Structure 1
């Protein structure tokens, strides 16, 4: 089935829903969800539109679609939006958003007769589909979904529920949230997994992403993230395992689809590291191993997964500008050599050329800073010479003149 056929089939099935009873709707929605899972990014964008959400809202309002079945399809759509990191304002601008907001607030305020399952479903849908949340909604959604994420059962169904709750929470980006609302629970989830390995890879990445997102407004979290929960160690291990345990040179389409989720989890780790490298000030010798693991990822995927290799380059550029990370780490683990390699791959029209130049500008500025230790100073001079010669060879004299 072609991409156009996928989109067309999805829309046809959606239009038929209002003519079915509840059970027939459920079977049709399961078929629609299967189509969504097989969609490429561009066709998914065509489906993830205001019209879809407005029509869903009208069908709920006219009692042509049950709330249970609407959640079944919307949660799946939100799940895949998060996996492919699609930024869209379709749900934000829809009438369905307002319905969900009111339902969450009304259900959350109930003292008696609260429908916990409905509230969980509503919170997950809302966070997975949207990207902008009011403080009132966050105060309801966070404790509700943390309660789900704290479940310790290790059967497949329970793991899926925990994964969905943590993925939804990871979409709460840079809102300022009081620590007492989440930190004890998040630490428990991470530490329990470190001991028992009970989370899926996506769930584990998502809980870290939620915590890293809090770092934007609360720099005092750095001790907890770096020293108490061992973020660098854990990220290093996850990157090594994701790059080493899976066949990244899959030829058959069936095999590529099976591994797509692991590709997306790896990409999400790199996006989190990109932000972390740009902000964190606590780094030890473990940081060198983390950079080495990103180098390993790059070498594994560079010929087949350009989106991932580009994300590696963006991460190197952020690391190059962080004074807490030694330039020597970037040289020792061949990050500098990789960026040299990219100079030959990039064209003037390629947005990655800017990232490559950004990397060298940051490195060259760092190399201006003299070292107190004589041995380190000699290393700095040698690295400066190597960078200078390579950039001159590649025709970037202007960058050299301005920054070295």
Structure 2
């Protein structure tokens, strides 16, 4: 098993995908059925395959058509129904294999696997073995966000991130995992850009869905920075520039958004989540000065 895992680590994507065909997974299933190998050992191998696939952003759909997938789904459902005698480690392994190896998730199974993986991700023990499991759970969760959550509505996608971050904010290590493994900055920027493009900023402010979701993304970003001081350094400038653009666009229409953006910039500076140079280059200083100038002009006009 260890030799095989070592060989897999050395393969390129072409070699990897040429080996793991439906027939191979069916053969593994047959070996389990004939009791030539225990399912636990097969799961260990599947987990390693899933790690390589997810980390390398590889795509293959052979596992979707295999008998082994059907066994895996059945086993997850059986384990989920168990109470006190459930092997939590084995259950988490099954869930990780499922979300990292399939291409199309079943909503029911996803609803079982996500809470399980979040529970693993929340483990705060500092032992090396536990931290490896935490990293594995985060990697598995990242494959869900990348492939499945794009099928959610924009509101649903923001709620998924809100759910994840609100449960991990007390642990700075996990916060860094959200920033670096799940690429929060990249995802938030894309969503904000698409949402902002859908809003008619010339109209007077109204509580349309896009406005509400934009505000939610700003609040989620603020929560992550406030508690974990975490943003991926390579992605944060793009995200901050995007938020600066949103702030400027919302000057006439979105008072809540504008105030939320300014509050977020204050959080970034106070928590030192990013350096002063990054804030400057992203245009934060300029937009804050513009905001101060506008507020001063409003006060002068009111006094008249």
Once the two structures are superposed, what CA deviation does each residue of 1:164-205 show, in whole Å capped at 9, x if it has no partner?
111111111315469888845633424411xxxx35966753
Matched ranges for 1:377-388 at <5 A: none
Residue aligning to 1:158: 130
Residue aligning to 2:180: 205
Shift of 1:88: 1.8
Match status 1:189 vs 2:168: yes
Of 222, 232, 256, 2:217 maps to 222
Measured in 2, the distance between the counterparts of 1:186 and 1:125 equals: 23
Distance change (3 Å), C-alpha of 1:226 and 1:199: closer
Measured in 2, the distance between the counterparts of 1:125 and 1:158 equals: 18
Q: How many residues align?
A: 231
Once the two structures are superposed, what CA deviation does each residue of 1:54-84 show, in whole Å capped at 9, x if it has no partner?
2211211221221111011110010010111
TM-score, normalization by structure 2: 0.61
Of 23, 33, 38, 1:61 maps to 33
Shift of 1:211: 11
Bigger relative CO (Cα 8 Å, ≥ 6 apart): 2
Distance change (3 Å), C-alpha of 1:119 and 1:65: same
Distance change (3 Å), C-alpha of 1:99 and 1:152: same
Residue aligning to 2:17: 45
Distance change (3 Å), C-alpha of 1:178 and 1:233: closer
Measured in 2, the distance between the counterparts of 1:121 and 1:111 equals: 17
TM-score, normalization by structure 1: 0.47
Measured in 2, the distance between the counterparts of 1:77 and 1:97 equals: 14
Distance change (3 Å), C-alpha of 1:203 and 1:60: farther
Once the two structures are superposed, what CA deviation does each residue of 1:217-258 show, in whole Å capped at 9, x if it has no partner?
99364033222213997334x43xxxxxxxxxxxxxxxxxxx
Q: Which runs of 5+ in 1 are unaligned?
A: 1-28, 240-268, 294-327, 331-371, 373-404
Distance change (3 Å), C-alpha of 1:81 and 1:143: same
Measured in 2, the distance between the counterparts of 1:281 and 1:132 equals: 34
Measured in 1, the distance between the counterparts of 2:157 and 2:229 equals: 26
Match status 1:118 vs 2:118: no
Shift of 1:35: 1.3
Secondary structure of 1:235 counterpart: coil
Shift of 1:41: 2.4
Distance change (3 Å), C-alpha of 1:277 and 1:98: farther
> Does the 8 A contact of 1:53 with 1:91 survive in 2?
yes
Measured in 2, the distance between the counterparts of 1:88 and 1:210 equals: 27
Of 234, 250, 253, 2:230 maps to 234
Distance change (3 Å), C-alpha of 1:124 and 1:143: same
The RMSD of aligned alpha carbons is: 4.2
Measured in 2, the distance between the counterparts of 1:207 and 1:36 equals: 24
Secondary structure of 2:143 counterpart: coil
Residue aligning to 2:108: 136
Distance change (3 Å), C-alpha of 1:81 and 1:88: same
Measured in 2, the distance between the counterparts of 1:199 and 1:227 equals: 16
Distance change (3 Å), C-alpha of 1:135 and 1:86: same
Distance change (3 Å), C-alpha of 1:69 and 1:223: same
Secondary structure of 2:105 counterpart: coil
Match status 1:89 vs 2:61: yes
